[in-house]
Amino acid sequence: MRRVDRRRFLQLSGAGAAAASTGALAGILASGRAPAYGQEQTLHWVRWSDFVPASDALLKGKMTEECKKATGISLQLETINANDIQARVTSAIQSGTGPDIIFAINNWPQLYAASLADMSDVAEEIGKAQGGYYGVSKQIATVGDRWIGVPWAIGGGLIAYRKSWYAEVGYDTFPDTWDKWHDAGKKLKAKGRPIGQALAHSFGDPPGFFYPWLWSFGGKEVETDGKTVALDSKETLESVKALVPFWNDACDPGGLAWDDSSNNRAFLSGTISATNNGASIYIEAKRKPDTYQTEKGEPMYKDIAHAPLPKGPGGQYNLPGPMTDMVMKYSKNQKAAKDFLRWIHSEPVFEEWFTSQQGYTDGPTKFWEGDKVWSADPVLTPFKNLPSEGRLTGYAGPPSQAAAEVQTKYIIVDMYAKAVQGAKAEDAVSWATGELKKIYGA
């Protein structure tokens, strides 16, 4: 074999590269298109680990392949624990490098507005084509007229409850007022089947219950100007006073130490009779009918139904959890990110993912209310109406940065936690009002 020395190697490779580049350049100029390797884009997308694992499997498998074929984009999908997303966003923004798209929950996009790319063109296109976004999706994903993200979907909670247990205590339909639920809960707790509700520091379940509780008594954080703190009111005080007996008589005290998955485990193990949650409990029970069974040996999912949070003197509300894809300003792939979001939100593509959720989430636009997923299983149908009946944190003001701060510091949740731990209702409200005033600068 002939020895190739360094000089000879450089001559050969240099000539080859020159020939290839000059020849290829002519071809590129003639075709008017970038070469295939130049077109290939890699897009890094960070999402939460979905409560419906089948959806993650679909995104990582089939949809990643389809994306490559349809757009030429190589999707690098990374799923992480939802509690770790904010740490990831912070380090990415501060270092100016990281994922191109990051999935946000609740009102997080408002915290990072200055570091997010303008998505107005893509969001407006999708919204226009699909019947318009829900108000809650739009509020979270906009600052003024600027879209700071593209709404992905909307999560939210309804009360999952055991039909037979409620029937046993005289409620063939789920109680529609807090007083009636208090009564039913008291009877069920006496039988060792309390209501399960997290009242601790986790981002999902505690705010999902206690903000609607506050609103349903007529309480609110601020006035419509989004600045004047209005928490210190007769209505708020009533809501705190009403919670203490409700908690003591009807709820599992363990909720003070629960995280967002504790109620799923407690419900599926048959230790609680009802809990405010997404559809994941029912979906899991239905997926494993032999594992999750009633005390009579029947599949548990057949004994589960969903109902909205009851109404109080101030009305009936829920706190939807809008999910938003944020394209980061530092990303050098913003165009590819926009192309990708256009593609994945196109009807046939998004429908594939939406179907895999089986009703765990609502679509970001009203168009998805008509999807066949809602007629597939009547037990999940009540989730369809959540976004239109929801309010966001910061009410009666917008879900601003200050509202996000109140939520992430768990001030409303802790106001109730202090009361059930023995603090006077007046002191709990006064403490929370003081904290809100510091945050809103009032």
Partner 1 sequence: MSLLSDSRTAAYAPARRRGPISRLLENERWLGLALLAPTLILLGVFVAYPFVKGIELSVTDTRVGVPGHFVGFQNFVALWHDDIFRLAVWNTCLYTVVATTVKLVLGLWLALLLNRNFRGKAFMRAFILLPFIIPTVLSTFAWKWMFDPTFSVINYVLLHLHLITVADRINWLGVPWLAMASVIVVNVWRGVPFFAISLLAGLQTISPELHEAAAIDGARAWARFRHVTWPLLLPVTMVIMLFSVIQTFADFQLVYVLTGGGPANTTQLFATYAYQIGIGTGLLSQGAAVSLAIFPILLLVVIVQLVYIRRVETA
CA gap 312, 327 in Å, rounded: 40
Number of H helices, E strands in the chain: 20, 11
Which tokens sit at 231?
């928490």
Nearer to partner 1, 254 or 399 (CB): 254
Pairing assessment for the beta strands 304-307 and 158-162 based on DSSP bridges: antiparallel
Nearer to partner 1, 343 or 431 (CB): 431
Distance of closest approach, residue 83 Cβ to partner 1, in angstroms: 9
| Span near partner 1 by CB under 8 A; candidates 42-50, 194-202, 216-224, 231-239 | 194-202
Distance of closest approach, residue 55 Cβ to partner 1, in angstroms: 25
Contact set for partner 1, span 268-297 (CB under 8 A): 269, 271
Distance of closest approach, residue 264 Cβ to partner 1, in angstroms: 11
- Quick check: 221 binds partner 1 (CB under 8 A)? no
Nearer to partner 1, 58 or 417 (CB): 417
Chosen residue from 255, 308, 312, 387 binding partner 1 by CB under 8 A: 255
What x/- string results for residues 306 through 345 when contact with partner 1 is judged by CB under 8 A?
-----------------------x----------------
Distance of closest approach, residue 115 Cβ to partner 1, in angstroms: 3
- Quick check: 265 binds partner 1 (CB under 8 A)? yes
Within 293-358, residue ranges assigned H as helices are 334-344, 347-357
- Quick check: 437 binds partner 1 (CB under 8 A)? no
Distance of closest approach, residue 143 Cβ to partner 1, in angstroms: 13
CA gap 337, 94 in Å, rounded: 20
Query: How would DSSP label each residue in 59-90?
Result: IIIIIHHHHHHHH-EEEEEEEE-GGGHHHHHH
**In Å, what is the CA distance from 129 to each residue of 133, 150, 291, 347, 366?**
10, 14, 43, 9, 11
Q: What does the DSSP 8-state code read for residue 233?
A: S
Nearer to partner 1, 371 or 414 (CB): 414
**In Å, what is the CA distance from 83 to each residue of 87, 95, 109, 201?**
8, 20, 15, 11
- Quick check: 410 binds partner 1 (CB under 8 A)? yes
Which secondary-structure segment (H or E) carries 125?
helix 120-129
Judged by CB under 8 A, how many residues of this single chain contact partner 1?
Answer: 43
Q: What does the DSSP 8-state code read for residue 311?
A: B
Chosen residue from 45, 103, 112, 217 binding partner 1 by CB under 8 A: 112
| Rg of the chain taking only CA atoms, in angstroms | 26
- Quick check: 258 binds partner 1 (CB under 8 A)? yes
| Span near partner 1 by CB under 8 A; candidates 20-28, 68-76, 263-271, 392-400 | 263-271
Chosen residue from 104, 404, 429, 436 binding partner 1 by CB under 8 A: 404
- Quick check: 431 binds partner 1 (CB under 8 A)? yes
If one counts every other C-beta atom within 10 angstroms of the C-beta of residue 363, the result is: 27
Chosen residue from 63, 77, 188, 266 binding partner 1 by CB under 8 A: 266
Contact set for partner 1, span 21-60 (CB under 8 A): none
At position 10, the amino acid (one-letter code) is L
Chosen residue from 42, 94, 224, 291 binding partner 1 by CB under 8 A: 94
Distance of closest approach, residue 400 Cβ to partner 1, in angstroms: 13
- Quick check: 218 binds partner 1 (CB under 8 A)? no
Give which of 241, 169, 173, 157 is closest to 205, Cα–Cα: 157
- Quick check: 385 binds partner 1 (CB under 8 A)? no
Under a CB-based contact definition with an 8 Å cutoff, are residues 385 and 311 in contact? no
Nearer to partner 1, 57 or 190 (CB): 190
- Quick check: 430 binds partner 1 (CB under 8 A)? no
Q: Scan for tokens 């009636």, then name that residue.
A: 180
Which tokens sit at 267?
């419900």
Chosen residue from 130, 142, 202, 433 binding partner 1 by CB under 8 A: 202
Under a CB-based contact definition with an 8 Å cutoff, are residues 103 and 96 in contact? no
- Quick check: 393 binds partner 1 (CB under 8 A)? no
CA gap 294, 121 in Å, rounded: 51
If one counts every other C-beta atom within 10 angstroms of the C-beta of residue 19, the result is: 10
Within 345-424, residue ranges assigned H as helices are 347-357, 373-376, 401-408, 411-420
Chosen residue from 144, 192, 297, 348 binding partner 1 by CB under 8 A: 192
Pairing assessment for the beta strands 274-277 and 195-196 based on DSSP bridges: parallel
- Which residues contact partner 1 (rule: CB under 8 A)? 86-87, 89-90, 93-94, 111-112, 114-115, 192, 199-202, 252-259, 262, 265-266, 269, 271, 329, 401, 404-405, 408-410, 414, 417-418, 421, 431, 434-435, 438
